[in-house]
């Protein structure tokens, strides 16, 4: 028995399958989800985020995308003509779901795509605000990319430009500036370890009560449920605290994991080869290598901070001193 007999086997069958079940490929976000997926696929296909995207909305059903890059964009054009469904399939889906599709490839560094929605497939109207919400994250995680959206439908001409050379530190800086009280304990890292690039921003609010603010990503996936990177950062911080407490004979200090969450601000991302994701919605990073890297890194960074910033360290570690709290707090 052929276990794959229900799978589409020809280019036409793939196209028909995409047209009948578009949400299987683009999710429930309509054109906004389609465009976000396309941008991510372009970056991954080029193996570089040094691409300028210009998305022009000319009508409720029509838009065009202009790409310009020092990279060779031929690999993207080839995807549109691929006769099978494989990884980075958003170019195939875009073509399959179009009512009108025109591709202008003037040279290897410039590409223009004109697209109209086929309302026989899905009755979506292009929502520019929803689109901007989706692609902001793409620009944040791909620091060399530049994304311009232009909406010609409005009463007044609307144009937005997204470029974040600081990456996710834009989110971290906002989070630390907007909290009540300036964080006394703050650590950042932006570099490559074992061929994976990490951006980590960690800080603690000065007051005790606040719930943690944790935002994490792996490649272009928002790991809402955390996982390896977040766990590794926290394990490294806990390890550094235990070493410091032991070095300084702080016998009344009891290092407990639950105490680390109060007032925590953590924004982090890792980029590298394909990762494995777990959980019901695949929003948890599962990578022992990332966890090991993050733990070792954060343990080193935190311990260096503790040893050179006694005043800030004392303000951070007071939460673990059993003499500071009445019985019942532990």
| Tokens at 65, concatenated | 């995308």
DSSP string, 262-297: TTEEEEEEEE-S--EEETTTT-EEE-HHHHHHHHHH
- Measuring CA to CA, which residue among 39, 61, 34, 62 is closest to residue 52? 39
Q: Whats the size of the chain, residue-wise?
A: 330
Report how far Cα 193 is from the mean position of its chain's Cα atoms: 18
* Mean pLDDT across the chain: 90
Distance CA 188, CA 91 (A): 37
Q: Does the predicted TM-score (pTM) go above 0.85?
A: yes
Produce one character per residue of 230-247: b if its CB has 16 or more CB atoms within 10 Å, e if not: bbbbbbbbbbbbebbbee
Report pLDDT for 9: 56
Element (H, E) at 303: helix 288-308
Over residues 265-292, the pLDDT tens digits come to: 999 999 998 999 998 888 999 999 999 9
Q: Is residue 8 very low, low, confident or very high in pLDDT (cuts 50, 70, 90)?
A: low
Q: For the residues 153-174, what does the mean pLDDT come to?
A: 94
Report pLDDT for 125: 85
| Tokens at 227, concatenated | 């996982």
Helix axes of 228-247 and 288-308: crossing angle, nearest 10 degrees: 30
**1 pLDDT exceeds 70?**
no
Over residues 287-325, the pLDDT tens digits come to: 999 999 999 999 999 999 999 999 999 989 988 999 876
Of 45-59, 159-173, 176-190, minimum mean pLDDT range: 176-190
Distance CA 42, CA 88 (A): 8
């Amino acid at each position: 028995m052929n276990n794959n007999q229900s799978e589409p086997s020809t280019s036409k069958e793939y196209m028909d399958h995409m047209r009948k079940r578009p949400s299987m490929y683009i999710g429930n976000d309509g054109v906004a989800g389609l465009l976000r997926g396309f941008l991510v696929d372009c970056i991954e296909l080029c193996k570089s985020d040094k691409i300028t995207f210009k998305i022009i909305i000319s009508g409720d059903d029509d838009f065009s995308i202009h790409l310009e890059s020092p990279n060779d964009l031929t690999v993207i054009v080839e995807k549109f003509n691929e006769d099978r469904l494989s990884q980075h399939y958003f170019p195939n889906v875009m073509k399959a779901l179009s009512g009108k599709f025109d591709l202008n490839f003037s040279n290897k560094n410039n590409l223009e795509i004109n697209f109209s929605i086929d309302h026989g497939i899905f009755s979506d109207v292009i929502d520019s605000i929803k689109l901007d919400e989706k692609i902001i994250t793409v620009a944040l995680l791909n620091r060399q990319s530049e994304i311009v959206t232009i909406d010609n439908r409005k009463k007044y001409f609307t144009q937005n430009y997204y470029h974040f050379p600081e990456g996710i530190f834009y989110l971290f800086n906002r989070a630390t500036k907007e909290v009540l009280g300036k964080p006394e304990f703050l650590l950042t890292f932006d570099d490559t370890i074992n061929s994976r690039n990490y951006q980590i921003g960690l800080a603690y609010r000065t007051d005790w009560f606040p719930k943690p603010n944790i935002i994490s990503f792996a490649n272009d996936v928002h790991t809402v449920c955390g996982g390896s990177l977040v766990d590794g950062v926290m394990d490294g911080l806990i390890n550094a605290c235990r070493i410091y407490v032991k070095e300084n004979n702080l016998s009344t200090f009891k290092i407990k994991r639950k105490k680390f969450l109060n007032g925590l601000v953590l924004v982090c991302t890792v980029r590298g080869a394909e990762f494995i994701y777990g959980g019901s919605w695949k929003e948890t990073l599962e990578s022992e290598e990332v966890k090991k890297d993050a733990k070792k890194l954060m343990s080193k960074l935190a311990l260096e901070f503790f040893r050179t910033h006694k005043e800030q360290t004392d303000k951070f570690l007071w939460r673990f001193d059993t003499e500071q709290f009445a019985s019942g707090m532990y």
